[in-house]
Amino acid sequence: MRPAARPLLCLDAGHFHPTEVVSDKLSSMLQFVDEVLLHVSRPVRWDSDHVVLFDDELQVIANELIRGDALSKVNIGLDFFDTGINRFAAWVIGTCNMRKALLRALLEPAAELQKAEALRDFTARLAMMEEAKSMPWSAIWDFYCLSRNVPVGIAWLDEVRTYERNVLSERKAA
């Protein structure tokens, strides 16, 4: 791990030019620095502090981290601020989306893709990449949640609403 006083390069997913994305920069930057701080947020260009969505860019970021074996070099920070929704729900949605993207990337047949690339078999590589998109990764996510005694699917929302009713409402009354 880095010394406490050493600064890190911060790549903020929400603060790039509209035609640029962080995923394009990760592998390049990691050639020149040992470690990166990655601020993942929904890219609303004037203010990126919004709940992390399971969008294309998040999935590509996760793919870059996994394909480049860069998880140990990247410190992932997530953003959850959105005044229009419950903060606990924002935290659950954003955290789960980042973890889902990483899971999906981890399930990609990386060794087979690298082998096809080395053999210059771009047809096989493309076929495997396309097939990976329809893999049942969400079933693995559901199993992971069940094995951790965490509500599956949208059932977590009931827990948040119970918390709002029993805890947050008491804070507002005080």
Which pLDDT score, from 0 to 100, does residue 95 have?
94
Phi, psi of 150 (to 5 degrees): -115, 140
d(CA 52, CA 50) in angstroms, rounded, equals: 6
Q: Nearest CA to 64 among 37, 30, 35?
A: 30
Which pLDDT score, from 0 to 100, does residue 171 have?
72
d(CA 18, CA 63) in angstroms, rounded, equals: 21
Which pLDDT score, from 0 to 100, does residue 44 have?
61
d(CA 112, CA 128) in angstroms, rounded, equals: 8
Contacts of 137 (CB under 8 A, 6+ apart): 100, 103, 104, 107
pLDDT tens for the chain, residues 1 to 174: 555 667 889 998 877 777 788 898 998 999 999 999 999 987 665 554 578 889 999 999 999 999 999 999 999 998 887 777 888 888 899 999 999 999 999 999 989 999 999 999 999 999 999 999 899 999 999 999 999 999 999 999 998 899 888 887 777 665
CA distances from 155 to 63, 149, 160 (A): 28, 12, 9
